[in-house]
Amino acid sequence: MLSLFRKEISSFFSSIIGYIVIIIFLLITSLFLWVFPIESNILNYGYAQLNGLFLIAPYVFLFLVPAISMRSFADENKSGTIELLLTKPISDMQIILAKFGAAFVLLLIAILPTILYYISVYQLGYPVGNIDSGGVFGSYIGLLLLGAAFVSIGLFSSSITSNQIVSFIISVVLSGFIFIGFEFIFNLSLFGDAGLIIKTLGIYDHYSSISRGVLDTRDIVYFLSLIGLFLFLTRFSLQSRKW
């Protein structure tokens, strides 16, 4: 499993994909936080906060994560190496976890440089350090959980097709619907009191809660359950090839 994990990490950085993901994420978030004259601009807003980062990053991830994960199994399916991979002396779940871990580590590497944003805002605060550090790091946990959820969805999408572009599209649509689709349905007010239940099925409700710096057990359980569900569906998809 570790050798497959290292192989996946190496494949990201032996091609241009890994570097592009990191550069695009940092470029977009930097522009929205420091350059564009909009509400999320830290210098214009006048308050020591990083809310803009945690509002923008999920929408960037919505496209970057599918770009990372689209080749995970689709490429193996297309080249025919998936059968060889499945015959190796490791379980299907170990294969999935190795690919999941590699994609998640790439996301983590992309997020880590944003700590410089926190340090900058910390120093810009008046007085220095006038920032809700607990809320910021709680928001980082939420962002990591959201990224992990998108990775699991991306792996499932990649496992059901041999075309990377199709995998990308399926992943974007699925991730987008689970992220904000239930929120949109809730806002239609068609289901009365049941709308609140529908709202809690979506990622946005739980991510927003964590982004306020509130680490509620229910939100953590939701993300872990969602990740587990799509990893299980990916395993089911791989096992169906053996039937």
What pLDDT digit, counting tens, does each position of 52-72 carry?
A: 889 999 999 999 999 998 888
- The dihedral formed by the CA atoms of 7, 10, 12 and 13, expressed in degrees to the nearest 10: -170
> Is residue 199 scored above 90 in pLDDT?
no
Distance CA 222, CA 131 (A): 28
Distance CA 11, CA 6 (A): 9
For position 80, what pLDDT does the model report?
A: 63
For position 188, what pLDDT does the model report?
A: 73
Which is higher by pLDDT, 175 or 35? 175
What average pLDDT does the chain have? 85
The per-residue pLDDT for range 118-140, each reduced to its tens digit, is 888 888 777 777 787 888 888 99
For position 9, what pLDDT does the model report?
A: 82
CA distances from 78 to 6, 32, 81, 86, 166 (A): 22, 38, 8, 15, 12
If one counts the domains in the chain, the total is 1
End-to-end CA distance of the chain: 24
The answer, yes or no, to whether the previous bond of 66 is cis (omega within 30 of 0) is no
Whether the CA torsion 16, 11, 71, 62 is positive or negative: it is negative
> Is residue 47 scored above 70 in pLDDT?
no
- The dihedral formed by the CA atoms of 223, 229, 235 and 238, expressed in degrees to the nearest 10: -110
Distance CA 211, CA 178 (A): 17
Whether the CA torsion 71, 235, 96, 175 is positive or negative: it is positive
Structural domain that includes position 30: 2-242
Distance CA 122, CA 144 (A): 21
pLDDT bracket for residue 194 (50, 70, 90) = low
